[in-house]
Amino acid sequence: MANFKTHVLVAAAVSGSATVVALSSDLLSAQVLPAYFLLGTMAGLLPDIDSDNSVPIRLFFNLMAVSAAFAALFSVVDRYSIVESLLLWGGVYLLVRYTVFELFIRLTVHRGVFHSVLAACFFGLLFTCIADSWLHRSELESWLAGVFVFMGYLVHLSLDELYSVDLTNIRLKRSFGTALKLVSLKYMRETLLLFVLTLMLFSAAPSGDVFLQTTWNGEFYQDIVNKLWPGGRWFSGLWPTHS
Ligand SMILES: [Zn+2]
Residue 35 Cα, ligand 1 centroid: separation in angstroms? 23
Let me know if residue 207 belongs to a domain. yes
Domain that holds residue 35: 1-50+111-215
Residue 94 Cα, ligand 1 centroid: separation in angstroms? 27
Residue 31 Cα, ligand 1 centroid: separation in angstroms? 31
CA distance 216 to 214: 6
Residues 40 and 58 in one domain: no
Contact 135, 149 (CB under 8 A): no
CA distance 15 to 211: 19
Strand partners, 239: 236
Residue 201 Cα, ligand 1 centroid: separation in angstroms? 24
* Confidence at residue 128, expressed as pLDDT on a 0 to 100 scale: 94
Let me know if residue 241 belongs to a domain. no
Residue 50 Cα, ligand 1 centroid: separation in angstroms? 9
Q: How would you write the pLDDT of the chain (243 residues) with one tens digit per residue?
A: 667 888 899 999 999 999 998 988 888 888 899 999 999 999 998 888 766 566 767 887 888 899 889 888 887 778 888 899 899 999 999 998 988 888 777 766 666 788 889 999 999 999 999 888 888 889 999 999 999 999 999 999 999 888 875 544 455 555 556 666 777 677 788 888 889 999 999 999 999 888 888 888 888 888 888 888 887 778 877 877 665
* Confidence at residue 110, expressed as pLDDT on a 0 to 100 scale: 62
* Confidence at residue 215, expressed as pLDDT on a 0 to 100 scale: 84
Residue 148 Cα, ligand 1 centroid: separation in angstroms? 18
Let me know if residue 227 belongs to a domain. no
Total number of domains constituting the chain: 2
Residues 128 and 192 in one domain: yes
Q: What is the pTM of this model?
A: 0.76
DSSP E strands: which ranges in the chain? 165-166, 171-172
Residues 100 and 119 in one domain: no
- The DSSP line for 189-234 is HHHHHHHHHHHHHHHHSPP-HHHHHHHSSHHHHHHHHHHHS-SSST
Let me know if residue 233 belongs to a domain. no
Pairing status of strand 171-172 against strand 165-166:
antiparallel
